[in-house]
Structure 1
Amino acid sequence: MKQRKLIDWHTLRKLYVTVCIACTFTCSLLAQGGRTVTGVVSDATGDPLPGVNIEVKGGTTGTISDIGGYYSVSVPDRNAVLVFSYIGFVVQRITVGERTKINVTLVEDLQALDEIIVIGYGTTKRQDFTGSVSSIRLEDSPVALASNLNALEAIKGNVAGLDIGATNSAGGQPSIQMRGQKSISGNNDPLIVLDGVIFLGSIGDINPNDIASYDILKDATSAAAYGSRSANGVIMITTKKGRSAKPVINFNASGSIESWQNRPKLMGGEQWLESVMARNNSTDLTWLKPQEVENKDAGREINWLDASTRTGWIQDYQASVSGSGEKVNYYLSAAYAENQGVVIGDNYNRVSVLGKVNANITDWLQVGIDASYTEANYSGAGASIYSATVMSPYGVMYHDETNKLLEKYPYTQSGQNPLWGVSNGSHDNIDVRNNLRTNAFALIKLPFIPGLSYRFNYAGNLRNIESGDFYYETQYVKEGAYNDETRYSPSAYQSLLSNANGYINHNTTSSWVIDNILNYKNKFGKHSIDLTAVATRDRRNYGEIISRGSNFAENGNTTLGINGLQKATTQKVEQKKDQRSNIGYLGRASYSFDDRYFLTASIRRDGASVFGIDKKWGNFVAIGSAWNLTREDFLKDLDYLNNLKVKLSWGKNGNQGLDPYGTLSTVKNSASGGVRYEFGNSSNILYGMQTDALGNTSLGWEATQSWNTGFESAWLGNRLFLDLDLYFSKTTDQIFTRNIPVMTGFKEIKSSMGQIDNRGVELTIRTVNVETSDLHWMTGFTFWLNRNKLTHLYGEDLDGDGKEDDDISNSRFIGKPLGAIYGYVQDGIVQESDADYMKANGVSAGVPKYKDLDGNGTIGSEDRDILGYTTPNFKLNMSNTVTYKNWDLYVMLTSTLGGGGYYQKSNTAAFMTNGSGLFNSNSIYIPWWTQENQSNKYPSAVFTGDGGRFQGLQNRAFVRLQDVTLSYTFREPWVKKLSIQNLKFFLTGKNLLTFTSWQGGDPEVGTTVRGDTYPVLTSYTIGANISF
């Protein structure tokens, strides 16, 4: 992917065509007298550039290039200077002389100080911006060619400070966090703003193929416009629009295959027998079931992981029509995507449509409306990966001779077939999510005051989810002998009808946002001002109805499945509703002098319904400044320095870390939780209401104050770009549940207290390595490091040591980062020579050994310490983009690194510490401790655990080849003869290689397959893009 200020300007120049061509029809200036100069404007690859501004310097004559890059302009005389300008390209000034034909090649300007970026309730030039923002152009970039089914995965690794997690299921959505964890128990997700309006839907409802660009606002000044919701940063998403006066019809089609990367290797039959016998101190195989013995003797083995997985695939199609006329800009698209996951039963498909129309009604009135609809279907239950990793390789898959009917119990007892309920029709699962979004705006440019405008925004979102499960009587087949077919007979099923059960959940979320925005922009000589005032309101309503039914014995069948819950003997209906509302007022002022000194200040006042009666309102202030040093005389003569802007900002933002009604006491009633009263005899029972949770009306905002400083720079003729940000933030009044004295009648209460500090470094380096007419090579590096610290918690000092107490039970330690791993320091494995240790602690050789930190000779609670942290040390990514003639190659390497005790996690499965039994492990064969092999790393096979002391920590650090994209664009004459505007074929690979020491699964997910976690997948994609 390419960052807007440094790489792919194809998107910008095509986007700019929309405005420029419109201006051609309405505002082209006709020169008078002189002669005419013609020519073609193209980029470094030879592609024509439509929409380039061509002006005669010092005059009023001008034009723009057409869709083929052709221009014609009148000049007064031979001394006239033509100025060629285009967003994202270096301005060229050419003296006409005696020529009448001038062809021009424009070179990309990677610094792009005049680039327009999207900020809260408006836009601004990058050079005028005082905050920290990263901009990504997805449209036409290499990553846009990959099969990304969610709107966030496409920008993963390209923005310093933005952590986007792994996607490991069909249609799954990754986690996201910006500049570290700020809230202990509240929401840490950034705010999503779609086309300038707060988006209250799910990120999964946004079709990635419709996205043109991202602007990521990271510091307080950048995000302050959204006040109470911006403590975790803001992601501004802009969707595509028409870019050409001529209608453009575009088709995208791609197909992908997926495979399991870092797939655990299950034990073979002999290894499994050895491990089970060792765990159970068995000397013979009498514990095997008859069918297992038969399979073993016949050499038949089942790899249950292979049986539960498959080759996954993705198909993704999109068609769009777009254009931009003198009065109307439009973009219409329809898309279909389907994903068959690697795990059997894991499926997803999505249908989405989007329509956008903007119209210039008059010179002073512009209106627009867009609407989108998405249906995402996640229905289907996936195979149990956990069961697949513990099954006997000699178990039975089917109970019939045709090998078509699944056996529920491969051992004929206990452990369940991982495919049971997945592909045998005994379990139905539905999960269908529909989302309808509408946006509308009206922009009035008030003619009586130049620069003054008013904009009205309305956004509505309606989201419906239908989900549920139904378990047929066949789900509850009894245990029994392998050849006991009566377990699967109609009469046996009939007897199990009382076990059949299911539920269906219908929930609806409706929301709306209204913005009123007044803006004034003007320039007076060297002074520029930008004033914005905003009044905004939003509301969200949530409703849920859950219907449950069980026992279908009286009905006699379950033919209707989940649609027949009303036939159940036992029925129950649950209903939930909640509502939340917000209101906000914003004032923001930006000032610049001589494009040299910049100042921005804002204040926002927000009210939220979720807080206590005296805490509903909060004030959020921000101020930022910047200084363009290259405008100063003392730096003008430094030829190797092209741009240097330093910046400093401070601000306060908020986080609504509370659910609706979270400040109120709640009650429970009825037999499910009320107080029981008996009158007369025990059959006359009434239930009264009982207070369930204690309210706290003093709960208020989680407030984050943050400081940001850094610089943006360009060197060596705009071939080296270096941006640095240093930040510090403190988040106070954390909302979480704490224990209270039991004499109050309650055990806990929600409270506002505590403080978390975050500090970090973000570095972005971009280089233009080669720039010729045929070859273009750029490299990008992103590095970021974040450290958080729990500064305050409950404010208690119960032990009287003069220090605030830690919360050891939740691994929260004052002065330490969140994510601390607290426990016993392992010191290898107890060996037979450790006689004193074994005697003092009552253990035998082959179990984990721990350090005696307090020196009393035994291992106890005082020997615990912080062993490490789950958070990473730092992240480092590198991308390379190479263009050679018609070929484009993009490669992205990502890494998340540990060291210093960081990025650790418990992984006991990697040490086979599963205790005795048959169903504990069939993966990760290890050389466990024996008297003959006295390992100092792995415990003995009979080690069954020691009360949670042993954690088996492993480092999750990894380096990953995340993206590779190779594309070819046809520019041959035959393409034009077929009226094809653009034809491109591409190959992409995702997550191709991962280097890590983590065992049993993907390190980024951090959970082994024994935790029933789906894998992170490798995918290979082939596709084509064609435009007419």
Structure 2
Amino acid sequence: MMIVLGIPLWAFGFKGEKGMLSSALTRGAITVSPLNLVVQQTVSGRVIGTDGLPLPGVSISVVGSEAATSTNEAGNYSISVQTGATLRFSMIGYASQDIVVSGATLNVTLEASGQSLDEVVVVGYGTMKRSDLTGAVVTADLEAFKEAPNTNILQSIKGTVPGLQIGQTNQAGAEPSIAVRGRNTINGNTAVLIVLDGIIYNGRIGDVNPADIESVNILKDASSKAIYGAQAANGVMLITTRGGKKGKPTISYSTYLASQTPTSDMRLRNAEEKKQIIRDIYYQNSYLAPDYTQPNPDWDFSDTELVPENVRGIEDGTDYDWWGALTNPGFITDHALTIGGGTEKTSYYLSGGFTKQRGFLMNDNYKRNTARINVSTEISEWLTVGANTFGAFTDYSGIYPNMGAMKLTSPFVTPKDENGEYIIYPTGATNIINPFLDAAADNKDLKTRINGTFYGIVKIPQIPGLEYRLNLGNDFLLENYYYGSPYAANLAGAISKSNQQRFDMTFDNILSYENRFGDHGISATLVAGYRRNQFESTLAEGTNVSNISLSYNSLEQAEIQRTSSDAWKETFLYQMGRINYNYRDTYMLTATLRKDGFSGFSRNNKSALFPSVGASWVLSNEPFVSIPNLEYLKLRGTYGVNGNMTTRYSSLARVTTDDASKYVFGDGSGTAMGQSMGSLANDNLSWEKTKGLNVGIDFSLFSNRIGGNIDYYDTETTDLLWNVVIPEITGFPSISSNVGRLKNRGIEIILSTIPVRTDNLEWNVNLNFARNTNKIMSLLGEDKNNDGKEDDLIGSNLFIGKSIGTVYHYQIDGIWQLDDDVMTGYQPGTYRIVDQNEDGKITADQDRVFLGQTEPAYFFGIQSGLTYKNITFRFFINAIQGGKNGYLGANVPANVASTGNFANLNTFNYDLWSVSNPTGKYATGWTVPQINPTPYYSRSFVRLQDVSLAYQFNSSLINRIGLKNLKLNVSGKNLLTFTKWDGWDPETGQGINSDAYPVMKSLNVGLELSL
């Protein structure tokens, strides 16, 4: 008998004859090594989808090895592996599976994922297969930006979904803005409706831990949005959180650390730069005539109007870096721990998260602690109950320096005296307080959110496909803002405590039915619901505080004490019906009708109806459509009406309590608080209504190597909510009314490609493009000029036939130079305004023209991922372009606050015109022309928004230490921005004299593991 390391072979389970063993060794079926005995075997099988059809091109790799293969056209494969090895089956559009080899035959069924046709998509009050959709519904790709240091899920999908515009953030813990398909209103609500786990959510998305989010779907057209009727005109975002899956508990942990610095090199001017500006201001004395290029040796800074503090600082050589002292490199650290699993009857998901971010400015801090419990249990065959709950505890404590105050400082002075005490007015001007004093305030800014959705699902066994669901949603927010500073209230000291709380409650009854009868499929949903939102706040504050050692915890020490409170409540009542019909998976029809009621509207228009209809036709299922390499082709078309709400109480006559309402009854009497009318009632104020048409096409080619969709939409909003100016004799400036019409149209394109797919290498490239325009069709309908045309509202910058963001202003043609024949009322260094009618003077009514618009011409994004074995490299390029005269932004240089300090001239280091810099881009800030126009520049940019490199460890290695998954990654965010815009950032529109804060770029290192 053969012996391996002194161990008889029968110990390994071999009992055959010597000849049989010898034969097996010869064939290579058994490999003998000094340490172990490994069995090689050939595994074969077939890979199909959930529809039973074969899947060609599925990648099959041996985890921890370079061995790999792929399925043929029939979905068959064959591969030689070691007994006990793990095979990984993966294909774009399908969920990957890791399966341990336990026999010679292994057949696999892959489930659809991502944007595949069989993917189940959340559509509001239910789900649908993507192939059954008739409307424009897009699922965001969350996996592609998983490694990015994003504290908010919106940052992870920014720029990736055409038609979804997400703004930039520039402060710690800030919430980005959201818009879908541009503007559908002028003065109405512009917020996108957020639905979290089936319940309308009015809170911060940043309170939801990104690690807990399973999917994000965006409803963009009128038909898909119609289920939310009155609040859906601006788009709907559906966020679904994770739940547990059947099986043993899986524990996952992820963490990252990111460093942050500004994307721009803007900074405050130093002493030498400011001295040069002062020389240029006094150029007629500081330089020698006539060309003013040679310095005057007899001139000195003491010959100016500078205050003594600045002159003394210049003489002492003081060059204090206020910018460096009040800022610091930022960072983000994040930790997330999740546990998920389930049994046949119960599933659970628990998570905890901690996030800490330090912004660029001193005291710009953010901390977030989150906890989530999602659980669902099947009590019986007909009853399931569950809950999705989370808590978010955020801390914004700390007052950061005001950017405006920072710009008013001077490098010639310092913040502290020789004793180390803060100088209250370091520049000598009593209107310029030391910006360090803001940061020295005692502050507590805490927010606590408790959110819970509780549900029960009742199935009717006698009627298959029929079920009733009860949803109860609760969202509670408590905000505590406390403040104390000895330097506030003109150095008299101020303290305050503000407590606010908000409670939102939703109660939904949902009855749904789904079944298939041969070639016919039908599903129907009925909803009846009620919402109530309420708010209350209390503020106690005091000034003239003699002893501030106890800060805001001793309000009674303030000599002057004030209290105030506020509260409001609003309610919603709604019913909705939706029916979907499917014939042979080829013809689909969707019809929806929703009725909404809102307490904020007038007594004559409390409710409104919002209908929609959608249809689709899968041409690729027709026998007469036979195009080589075409797998899928569907045409879609929808039409519907959505609504937009007014603000609460806007239709009512409201009373106010202000100084104008106080009254003194007789000599020596005290002042009594009264009330006065603050607005007029309008019993006919009604809903804005947006009617929209959407047509689209979905396609897939070359075994899903190329796919995508194209959508075109055209909407019109009528009964625009607008505060119409009324005669002053009424005692009121305006009244809330419905006027005008607004057009909005655009096109959106998504293209997904897989240029390369081999056993070990896969490269995908995804492109998206969007263009949106709006046009004001009508406003008040007035024709005061009697010219047969409706009048523009020039004072409100609204023009018939133009976009909402139209720029109507003076045209600038360079800057007046020293040797120019300067127009009367202007000086060298000021902007040269084009005299449009050439009458020798500049006037507002004759010389303003349409320069362009603030809206972009188009958006585009390029996302790409390259995976080689266990290494994945991804990047995303985001761009907004203005075209010839779009995406314009005002970029105004600083003006001199006073000749004694030239305070504003300590602003950022932009290209300012002067006699020493005659080619400067921006006009001087120390001369006052007759008309000082606003310069507008393009904000177009291309940004390398995300880039990441990740390494997935082999399972054969990490399994030895008890791990299921281990991944390391490095990533960067906003690393490169290509733009001609001057200032903090083109996307935020923060220019050369902005009081806002810089957008940050990040470098990140992260770790993910599970066991």
> What interval of TM-score do these two structures reach, taking the shorter chain for normalisation?
0.7 to 0.9
Aligned to 2:618: 628
1:853 aligns with 2:836: yes
Amino acid at match of 1:247: P
Give the match for residue 430 of structure 1: 444
1:388 aligns with 2:406: yes
The whole-number CA distance in structure 1 between the counterparts of 2:575 and 2:924 is: 65
CA displacement at 1:215 relative to structure 2:
0.8
Could you report, residue by residue, the CA deviation over 1:805-846 in whole angstroms, capped at 9, with x for unpaired residues? 1111111111100112221111222346654x62xx433343
CA 1:924–1:311 in 2, change beyond 3 Å: closer, same or farther? closer
| Deviation sequence 1:513-550 (CA, Å, 0-9, x none) | 11111111111111111111111111111111111212
Cα RMSD, aligned residues only: 2.9
Structure 1 CA distance, aligned partners of 2:149 and 2:963?
Answer: 24
Counterpart residue type for residue 905 of structure 1:
G
Distance 1:421-1:801 versus aligned 2 partners, 3 A rule:
same
Secondary structure of 2:380's match?
coil
What pairs with 1:506-545 in structure 2 (closer than 5 Å)? 506-545=499-538
Give a deviation string over 1:40-79, Cα, whole Å, max 9, x none. 989545469xxxxxxxx9xxxxxxxxx99799xxxxxxxx
Measured in 1, the distance between the counterparts of 2:310 and 2:670 equals 56
Equivalent runs, 1:920-999 vs 2, <5 Å: 920-925=904-909, 928-929=912-913, 934-935=918-919, 937-940=921-924, 942-947=926-931, 949-999=932-982
Query: Which piece of structure 1 moves more, 893-902 or 382-391?
Result: 382-391
Given that 2:772 and 2:858 are in contact with CA atoms closer than 8 Å, whether structure 1 keeps it comes out as: yes
Shift, 1:672, TM fit: 2.1
2:192 maps to what in 1? Answer: 190
Give matches, 1:558-637, under 5 Å: 558-636=548-626
2:138 matches 1:150: no
Are the aligned partners of 2:720 and 2:740 in contact in 1 as well (CA < 8 Å)? yes
Correspondence 1:618-767 to 2 at 5 A: 618-636=608-626, 638-656=627-645, 658-669=646-657, 672-674=659-661, 676=663, 678-679=665-666, 681=667, 683=669, 686=672, 688-767=674-753
Rounded Cα–Cα distance in structure 2 between residues aligned with 1:111 and 1:845: 60
Code of the aligned partner of 2:703? G
Deviations 1:421-479 (A, max 9, x none): 244x3x2232211110111111112111111111111111111111243221x4578xx
Q: Aligned residue for 1:233?
A: 235
Q: Which residue of 2 aligns with 1:786?
A: 772
> 1:661-683 CA distances to partner (integer Å, 9 max, x unpaired)?
111111234x623163543x364
The answer as to whether partners of 1:912 and 1:924 remain within 8 angstroms in 2 is no
Output aligned runs, 1:445-456, within 5 Å. 445-456=459-470
1:297 Cα deviation from its structure 2 partner: 5.2
- Of 424, 448, 454 in structure 2, the residue corresponding to residue 408 of structure 1 is 424
CA change 1:668–1:867 in 2 (3 A) is same
Residue 5 of structure 2 is matched in structure 1 by: none
Q: Could you tell me how far 1:931 is from its partner in structure 2?
A: 6.3
Residue 356 of structure 2, aligned match among 338, 351, 362: 338
Aligned residue in 2 for 1:177? 179
**Equivalences for residues 257-336 of structure 1 within 5 A:** 257-280=259-282, 283=286, 284-286=300-302, 287=304, 292=310, 296=314, 299-336=317-354
Residue 874 in structure 1 maps to residue 858 in structure 2: yes
Query: Would you say how many aligned residue pairs link Structure 1 and Structure 2?
Result: 920
In structure 2, what is the Cα distance between the partners aligned to 1:882 and 1:211? 25
Query: What is the CA–CA distance in structure 2 between the aligned matches of 1:195 and 1:933, rounded to whole Å?
Result: 59
Distance apart, 1:391 and its partner CA: 2.7
Q: Select 2:814's aligned residue among 828, 849, 853.
A: 828
In 1, Cα distance between the equivalents of 2:959 and 2:96?
Answer: 29
Q: Matched residues in 1 for 2:489 and 2:325: separation?
A: 22
Q: Secondary structure at the match of 1:975?
A: helix
SS at match of 1:635: coil
Q: Deviations over 1:213-236 (max 9, x none)?
A: 111111011111111111111111
Q: Which residue of 1 aligns with 2:296?
A: none
Post-superposition shift, 1:768? 0.4
**Which of 560-569 and 707-716 deviates more?**
560-569
Moved more, 412-421 or 791-800: 412-421
> Where does structure 1 lack aligned partners over 5 or more consecutive residues?
1-36, 49-56, 58-66, 72-83, 93-98, 478-495
Q: What residue in structure 2 maps to residue 119 of structure 1?
A: 123
Give the SS at the match of 1:171: coil
Amino acid at match of 2:127: T
- The code of the aligned residue for 2:970 comes to L
Letter in 2 for 1:167: T
Supply the AA of the counterpart residue of 1:200: N
Contact 1:982/1:1025 (8 A) holds in 2: yes
Compute the TM-score of the two structures, normalised by the length of structure 2: 0.86
CA 1:593–1:307 in 2, change beyond 3 Å: closer, same or farther? same
Alignment of 1:206-245 (within 5 A): 206-245=208-247
CA distance in 2, matches of 1:932, 1:285: 17
Give CA-to-partner distance per residue, 1:29-50, whole Å, 9 cap, x none: xxxxxxxx997989545469xx
Counterparts in 2 of 1:946 and 1:887: CA distance versus 1, 3 Å: farther
Q: Contact 2:63–2:87 (CA<8 Å) still a contact in 1?
A: no
Q: Which amino acid aligns with 2:726?
A: I
Q: Distance in 2 between matches of 1:908 and 1:945?
A: 14
* 2:624 counterpart SS class: helix
Structure 1 residue 863 corresponds to structure 2 residue 851: no
Q: Structure 1 residues 687, 557: closer, same or farther in 2, change over 3 A?
A: closer
Match of 1:354 among 362, 372, 376: 372
> Counterparts of 1:1004 and 1:609 in 2: how far apart (Å)?
37
State the partner residue of 2:539: 546
User: 1:633 and 1:126, CA in 2 relative to 1: closer, same or farther beyond 3 A?
Assistant: same
- The one-letter amino acid paired with 2:654 is T
Query: What letter is aligned with 2:469?
Result: R
| Structure 2 residues without counterparts, runs of 5 or longer | 1-42, 48-57, 65-73, 75-83, 98-102, 287-299
Identical counterparts, % of pairs: 34
Of 159, 162, 170, the residue aligned with 2:161 is 159
Are 2:897 and 2:903, in contact at CA under 8 Å, matched by a contact in 1?
no
Asked if structure 2 preserves the Cα contact closer than 8 Å seen for 1:87 and 1:115, the reply is: no
Q: Deviations over 1:262-312 (max 9, x none)?
A: 121433322211112323556421155666556545654222211111111
* 1:939 CA drift (Å): 3.1
3-state SS in 2 of match to 1:254: strand
Q: What one-letter code is carried by the residue in structure 2 that aligns with 1:346?
A: D
Q: Which residue of 2 aligns with 1:4?
A: none
Separation (CA, whole Å) in 2 of partners of 1:470 and 1:924: 31
Match for residue 89 of structure 1?
94
Equivalent residue of 1:633, what SS? coil
Report if the CA contact (8 A) 2:914-2:920 is conserved. Answer: no
Alpha-carbon contact 1:988-1:1020 (below 8 Å) kept: yes
* 2:911/2:920 contact within 8 Å kept: no
Q: Residues 686 and 117 from structure 1, CA distance in 2 versus in 1: closer, same or farther, beyond 3 angstroms?
A: closer
Deviation larger for 361-370 or 581-590: 361-370
Write the mapping of 1:483-494 to structure 2, written as runs, cut at 5 A: none
Q: Which amino acid aligns with 1:646?
A: L
Mapped partners of 1:802, 1:44: distance in 2: 72
CA contact (8 A) 2:716 2:743 kept: yes
